[in-house]
Chains A and B, each alone.
Chain A
Amino acid sequence: MTQVPSIAEEQLSTSLSSSKSVTLRIARFNPEHENERKFMEFTIPYEKWTTVLEAILEVKKHFDHSVAVRYSCRQATCGSCGMIINGKPRLACFTKISELDSDIVTVEPMNNFPIIRDLAVRFERLFDTHHKIKPYLIRDDSEITSNEKEFLQSPEELEQYIQFSNCIKCGLCNSACPTMATDSSFVGPQALAQAYRYVADSRDKGKDSRLKVIDDSHGIWRCHFAGSCSQVCPKGVDPAMGIQFLRGYLLGFRS
């Protein structure tokens, strides 16, 4: 019987081979043992389709397995591998090295998130603020108690919020936000866009309670419409648009 190698063995034995190579600079920092960040450089071969995440995993497989990085789906769906790539927040699995048009690729942990180690950051605050804006349908009745079996919605009503339900909670918007850079208490573009997602949902009746949460000195009024959140969103959510619509309710432009 032929011996089939395990996936782990296969991954250990294979490496990227290409005539092109890039210098991958990885930020290394362990807040428990070190005082400042340092960079380690690796020369990695790459193909046209090689992503930054694949290059980092190449480093882990063949050079230094201790590099800390969070990832899962490798297809821009789980929102785990957000990091600063050549100065801008991006998903490592969604960013091809060839598209960066640079011989040096520098990867750092996302800004405005506490660092666990190297490229892995803490998401507790993002999830806390996300939970704070009540990310669920609020109404007195339910699909079980109502005479109707489901809450019907027209395609036009769906169009009002479907874009904002694409959020994968990767945190890139919070990392790019200039207000988040100085104000840790700011709700942040991720949570504000999600507040709009539920306020704009025709099935939801919790608009007033959500507006009350965000109508705060560290809430929606601290957004100054710089738009960086929308520019870095990998799923086309456009948080800046949602936030301005949401503010429209508070300013009386919308009802």
Chain B
Amino acid sequence: MTQQDENKEGIGGMINPRRYGIERVAYLLMRLSGLGLLAYFIGHIYETSSILKGEVGWNEFLELTQTNEGHAVLAIVIAMCVFHTVNGIRVMLGHGGVGVGKPARPDYPYTPASQNARHKIGIYSAIVLAAIAMMYGLAVMFGE
């Protein structure tokens, strides 16, 4: 069966953050930051391997991170790292059933207990902390 036959939403539907509130935004940011950190990790291994070319090669490569573009990339990496860590702790606790509410006979209008204020605060905290860390990183790198 093709994707059209199955009527699957596909990646476009998976990454669409507009329909299901802040939880779906966090889901998208978690995916993007995870992929971004993976790309950084691979780049980092490549970068550190330049030490095999001696001190000159190492310094040449290190200069790449000392440019404006390099600083901007590092600031984004800081934001991704902080968001992924804080939101990751929230998701890991949720995965263990911690903070997702208690089963109870539902009453109309049904408000899902698993989408509670604690999780929303966790998501907003992850976003705010990532923004603060990124701004601090920018201040340190561009403030020299």
Mark A residues whose CB is within 8 Å of B.
31, 87-88, 109-115, 121, 159-164, 166, 176, 178-182, 184, 200, 224-228, 230-238, 240-242, 244-245, 247-248, 251, 253-254
- On chain B, the number of residues with a Cβ less than 8 Å from chain A's Cβ atoms is 39
Residue in contact with A231 in the complex, picked from B8, B13, B20, B113, CB distance below 8 Å: B20
Cβ distance A102 to chain B, nearest Cβ, rounded Å: 14
Residue in contact with A178 in the complex, picked from B24, B104, B114, CB distance below 8 Å: B24
Contacts of A110 in B (CB 8 A): 7
Q: Are A166 and B106 closer than 8 Å at their CB atoms?
A: yes
Closest to B26 in A: A226
Q: Are A244 and B104 closer than 8 Å at their CB atoms?
A: no
> Known contacts A164-B103, A237-B106; is A231 also within 8 Å of B7 by CB?
no
Q: Are B113 and A241 closer than 8 Å at their CB atoms?
A: yes
Q: Are B8 and A163 closer than 8 Å at their CB atoms?
A: no
Q: Are A226 and B23 closer than 8 Å at their CB atoms?
A: yes
Contacts of A230 in B (CB 8 A): 112, 114-115
Q: Are B20 and A162 closer than 8 Å at their CB atoms?
A: no
Q: Are A88 and B98 closer than 8 Å at their CB atoms?
A: no
Q: Are A159 and B103 closer than 8 Å at their CB atoms?
A: yes
Q: Are A247 and B112 closer than 8 Å at their CB atoms?
A: no
Closest to A248 in B: B97
Stretch from B52-60, B70-78, B88-96 contacting the other chain: B88-96
Q: Is B10 on the interface with A (CB-CB < 8 A)?
A: yes
Closest to A31 in B: B5
Mark B residues whose CB is within 8 Å of A.
1, 5-11, 13-15, 19-21, 23-24, 27, 30, 91, 94-98, 100-101, 103-108, 110-115, 119
Contacts of B101 in A (CB 8 A): 238, 241
**Sample (8) of A-B pairs whose CB atoms are under 8 Å apart:** A111-B7, A160-B103, A178-B15, A181-B9, A228-B20, A231-B20, A240-B115, A244-B96
A-B residue pairs, 10 tightest by C-beta:
A236-B106, A236-B110, A230-B112, A248-B97, A181-B9, A253-B96, A241-B114, A226-B27, A228-B20, A181-B13
Q: Are A236 and B27 closer than 8 Å at their CB atoms?
A: no
For the complex, give the distance between the alpha carbons of A237 and B114 in Å.
Answer: 11
Contacts of B110 in A (CB 8 A): 233-236, 238
Q: Are A244 and B7 closer than 8 Å at their CB atoms?
A: no
Residue in contact with B21 in the complex, picked from A111, A115, A231, CB distance below 8 Å: A231
For the complex, give the distance between the alpha carbons of A139 and B94 in Å.
Answer: 30
For the complex, give the distance between the alpha carbons of A251 and B97 in Å.
Answer: 10
Q: Which of A87, A113, A166, A225 has the most CB of B within 10 A?
A: A225
Q: Are B24 and A241 closer than 8 Å at their CB atoms?
A: no
Contacts of B27 in A (CB 8 A): 178, 224-226
Q: Are A228 and B24 closer than 8 Å at their CB atoms?
A: yes
